[in-house]
Amino acid sequence: MERAQLRPWGLGVLATLMIVALVIASSAAGSDTPGEPEAAPGDDAPAAGEAMGPFSLTAPAGWVMNRRPGAGVRRHTVFYPRGSGGADAPVKIFVNTSPRSEGQTLEALVAQDVASTLEREQGAKVSEGTSLRTADDKLALVRSFSGGDEEESVAYIAEKDSFVLITLSARDELRHAEGESALRAIVESYRAVGR
């Protein structure tokens, strides 16, 4: 299931220039081998939201953080189990951002996403997960989505000007269950930088 309705692709000139600068900086600092981790598991590495400001995340033990998931992949950062096939792995965690309108609450964003998913996906089921806390003590609301092509759990985090969505996506329930502890670890490692 895609969370496409929350992805801001109509970017302004300044935002576009900032993204280009981040891509160039990331390419210069990253590994020359496709699929190699940008950071070793357990190391902090910054991930950047689309001109929304940076944040840091930590890859759990046994997982790889890839800040350059590849051409055509509209994700800021993708995590996957080491040796599982990279961004096409049967279980992965990806990070996206969405702009935040003035006065928009985290609860309103979650309700909008849930309603949109139920409308778009025939037979989709949504359940409320246990809320989590980030490293900088922000609330992360969690919702799980099933009944589609993928089993997903989304952790929603509010920043001043944006929302951050950290999504566990798996091809089946077993892999989803295996990825839940990694999602929790990534959310709990989340920290806004320079705010």
pLDDT of 107 higher than 80: yes
Q: Is 18 left (phi over 0), alpha (psi -120 to 50) or beta?
A: alpha
> Tens digits of per-residue pLDDT, 164-190?
999 999 999 999 999 999 999 999 999
d(CA 61, CA 50): 27
> Tens digits of per-residue pLDDT, 110-153?
999 999 999 988 889 999 999 999 999 999 999 999 987 889 99
CATH number for the domain spanning 163: value is 3.40.1000.10
pLDDT of 35 higher than 80: no
d(CA 151, CA 1): 8
Domain assignment of residue 168, given as a range? 4-192
Q: How many separate domains does the chain show?
A: 1
pTM higher than 0.95 for the full model?
Answer: no
pLDDT of residue 71: 42
Average pLDDT over residues 72-101: 83
φ/ψ of residue 2, rounded to 5: -95, 145
